[in-house]
Amino acid sequence: MHETAHELGRIAVTNVGYLWLIPLFPLIGATINALIGWKLQQLFGRKIVHRIAVTAMFAAFGVALVAFSQMLRLPSEERFLQDTLWNLMTAGRLTVDFGFALDPLSMMMVLVITGIGSLIHVFSIGYMHDEPSYWRFFSYLNLFVFAMLLLVMGDNFAVMFFGWEGVGLASYLLISFWYTDPEKAKAGMKAFVANRFGDFGFLAGLFLLFWALGGAWTPRTGSGLRNNDYQPIAELNATAAAATPAQAHALAPAVHDVKVGPTMNFRELRDQVVIDSTGVKEHLAGSSIWGVSLLTLVCILLFVGAMGKSAQIPLYVWLPDAMAGPTPVSALIHAATMVTAGVYMVARLNFLFALSPSAMGWVALIGAATAIFAASIGFFQYDIKKVLAYSTVSQLGFMFIGVGVGAYWAGAYHLLTHAFFKATLFLGSGSVILGCHHEQDMRKMGGLKKHMPITRWTYLAACWAIAGFPWMNGFYSKDEILYKAFTSGHLALFGVPTPWLGPAIFLVGIVAATGTSFYMFRSYYMTFTGEYRGNAGHHDEHNEDPHAAGAAAMSHLSVSVHASDGAVHADGHAHGHAAPAHGHAVHAPAAAAATAHAPAHDDHGHHGGTPHESPWTVTLVLSLLALGSFLTLFLGIPMAWTGKAPILEHWLAPALTAQEGVPFQHLSHSTEYMFQAIGVLAGAVGWFFAMVLFKDAKSEVPARLRDRFLGVWTVVYNKYYVDELYAVAVLKPSMKVAQAASWFDSNVIDRLVLLAGTVTRVVANLDGAIDKYLVDGAVNAVASVTQECGRYLRSLQTGKVQTYLYGALGGALVVVLLNFLIS
């Protein structure tokens, strides 16, 4: 492979010619299975379908390893691989290329996406074996990975946005994979629409940033042209300060071949901001629009996009309903791809967010609120996949706490650790569902450790990881995030410094971590301990829903909206939401039996029979992921233990340059040990209460607590009625607006159009009559008169000379006579 290196800003860039192969292989696999997969499945069986898809994934992973090995050999300040394919757009001096780039951050993401994605593909071989549309499923999986690779490998906003929208499309296809089920189809649509709200913020922030860069002209910019580090491409004069963005860009100076001005390239933008003498940082930090800091507004709008993709309050509602898709889809979305896109985007733009303490404060605050909010919902869910879904929302909140307080590497590290233990949990739940004949209700499980030992141990290892125990990876990433939150004093809200915000977020994080440990070990004990309850004809105190009286007391929280509005009916079925089973509200008519809330099943199989361990393709993947949840702890061992920066922090440092400038309070190692002990204690407390209350399903305390606090239990069990609130506050008004628009279109616009047509027809008829009878009549009259005059005058031409002589003499006599009379 041919390679060249040149200096770009302060970082040497290595141009390579093979990065495009990484996303190409999944695209090839998706295309083949989409176009002829059905025929290949008919001719050669299912094996050919998954071989194409899995081979594409491992090929992409292999190329990623080649890039990783090459990057390892480079000095840390030169770890940037670039592969430009073609030009997308040129406007003046603005050039947007379709190209890929890998730095330490995107390299980590690519390894996670292709590595864990490959394992999920292997898992799917056994899990989806009986699916008729086997070829379509693997085509969608490959497409999803391709889109995510575009997102993280794109070297500019344009390529990132292609991937950004691509994962939205692929998630819609996968979540609604069983589209013949209306609830599953609605879940896919819900995810697609919710993400469009976030995408609007992302685009608005991008446009505003681009506009701001076009006017980035200050006295320091002009003086920079006289600096030896600059090569001017045009002389900047006094009129440039007042130039329009398009004019100003033509006058932009170059810093080591990096233009100062509008750009969509991440590297160019980073260099403009981090090199002080360009003046861009000064300009962005000091600009305002409508009385609001321009940079803060840009970052918050970009974060709105992240909120949609990464399921933060209030745009989180689509992610729990994404459980409507097959379990491998849930693992791919929650662990390795889509939901981490928002976190990655904020980390990628760390050099912008670090300039706005207010934006950082809002990112961290919303992350903390999401973490504890989603954790509380997970306490009371019975669908094993729903527990994990809200767990993902909560863990994403922790990641945003990390990037929000400026601990970008810690947020990225939690992204990595979460990918391993959450993939283990989701695929473990899939193994349980498969072994229990497609049952998802934990109240109908129990005792599975005897029947599914490998699944049990891998699931338990992942619970240790997410709860934050030192022998698994989750402890190190979560501890670093919470420690940095406590020691951060630079955050602000509404432009006002809030030194109390960091410690407050720490306390919220500790409570959320305790809750995380509780609901995860609750799911473990309900699933794997005690006796198997799948064949029971009734439920004990652990499975019953609230009594009718308590449910009736809460029924006023329900709303009744016409089905055409896509909202909620009094029977508790959320027609506008794909939240099967436990997503429904609890009401007196529906509370007769727990089976009224039986969850929608991951596949269309049947229940009954003895649980069994999953095929080797499933257990092998679970074992590898659980091993990864252990091995990746060595990437984040804190400095207090070793005296050196954690391996991953050192690796990510070149990509997270803004982290060096974020002020954190430095505490002693003994104090840091105390914070680590608090984190472990939080996990232990949650584990203890889960074990006491749910191990072997013997305790009656949960039932008594539920009966005593039935109102609170019902509200949280029904997810705080947020879906119902959306139905009333968003869906119903939206439907009313749509209906009003439809009426206006039919009764006003259409009638105006018909009226215009009628008027046009009348005018046309009148114009035709005028043309025919007036214009044509006048023309024809002139012609007739001319013709008659001609006929009369023709009679005067007899052809006889004497006649002409008589006429001449007559005329002369008339002239003489007139002259005589006049005189």
Phi, psi angles (nearest 5°) of residue 231: -120, 110
702 closest CA partner among 538, 710, 586: 710
Q: Are 216 and 253 in contact (CB under 8 A)?
A: no
Report the pLDDT value the prediction gives residue 393, as an integer from 0 to 100: 93
Is the residue at 333 inside a domain?
no
Is the residue at 269 inside a domain?
no
What's the average model confidence in pLDDT over 228-250? 38
Contacts (Cβ under 8 Å, ≥6 apart) of 253 = 221, 224, 225, 230, 231, 232, 233, 234, 236, 259, 260, 278
Is the residue at 205 inside a domain?
no
Residues 421 and 463 in one domain: yes
Pairing of strands 11-15, 81-91: parallel
Q: How far is CA 540 from the centre of its chain?
A: 41
Token digits of residue 392: 């993902």
Q: What percent of the chain has pLDDT over 70?
A: 83
In which domain, by residue range, is 401 found?
358-534+611-698
Is the residue at 558 inside a domain?
no
Report the pLDDT value the prediction gives residue 230, as an integer from 0 to 100: 37
Chosen domain end from 698, 714, 744: 698
Burial of 642 (0-12, 13-18, 19+ CB in 10 A): exposed
Cα separation of 353 and 298, whole Å? 9
Residues 409 and 518 in one domain: yes
Residues 501 and 366 in one domain: yes
Residues 624 and 754 in one domain: no
Chosen domain end from 635, 665, 698: 698
Residues 621 and 530 in one domain: yes
587 closest CA partner among 598, 574, 571, 575: 571
Token digits of residue 567: 């909202």
Which helix (H) or strand (E) element contains residue 305? Answer: helix 294-309
Burial of 287 (0-12, 13-18, 19+ CB in 10 A): middle
What's the average model confidence in pLDDT over 345-373? 93
Report the pLDDT value the prediction gives residue 56, as an integer from 0 to 100: 95
Is the residue at 602 inside a domain?
no
572 vs 166: which has the higher pLDDT:
166
**pLDDT exceeds 80 at position 470:** yes
pLDDT in tens, 664-707: 888 888 888 999 999 999 999 999 999 999 888 777 888 888 88
Residues 501 and 451 in one domain: yes
What's the average model confidence in pLDDT over 332-345? 86
Token digits of residue 331: 């693992």
Chosen domain end from 641, 665, 698: 698
DSSP letters spanning 257-280:
TEESSS--BHHHHHHHHHSGGGSH
Report the pLDDT value the prediction gives residue 593, as an integer from 0 to 100: 34
Report the pLDDT value the prediction gives residue 257, as an integer from 0 to 100: 53
**pLDDT exceeds 50 at position 336:** yes
Residues 786 and 642 in one domain: no
Q: Which among 86-90, 542-546, 630-634, 792-796 has the top mean pLDDT?
A: 630-634
Report the pLDDT value the prediction gives residue 571, as an integer from 0 to 100: 34
Is the residue at 689 inside a domain?
yes
Residues 643 and 728 in one domain: no
Report the pLDDT value the prediction gives residue 575, as an integer from 0 to 100: 37
Q: Are 204 and 301 in contact (CB under 8 A)?
A: yes
**pLDDT exceeds 80 at position 277:** no
Dihedral Cα 212, 214, 216, 221, nearest 10 deg? 160
Residues 646 and 777 in one domain: no
Residues 387 and 506 in one domain: yes
Dihedral Cα 146, 152, 154, 156, nearest 10 deg? 140
The full length of the chain comes to 823
Is the residue at 526 inside a domain?
yes
For the question of whether the overall pTM of this predicted structure is more than 0.85, the answer is no
Residues 483 and 631 in one domain: yes
Is the residue at 270 inside a domain?
no
Domain count, the chain: 2
Residues 691 and 620 in one domain: yes
Contacts (Cβ under 8 Å, ≥6 apart) of 20 = 83, 85, 100
**pLDDT exceeds 60 at position 599:** no
348 vs 668: which has the higher pLDDT:
348
Sole residue written with tokens 């035709």: 768
* Beta partners for residue 96, in sequence order: 89
pLDDT in tens, 125-151: 988 888 888 999 999 999 999 999 999
Cα separation of 576 and 117, whole Å? 31
**pLDDT exceeds 70 at position 620:** yes
DSSP letters spanning 60-118:
HHHHHHHHHHHHHTS-GGG--EEEEEEEEEEETTEEEEEEEEE-HHHHHHHHHHHHHHH
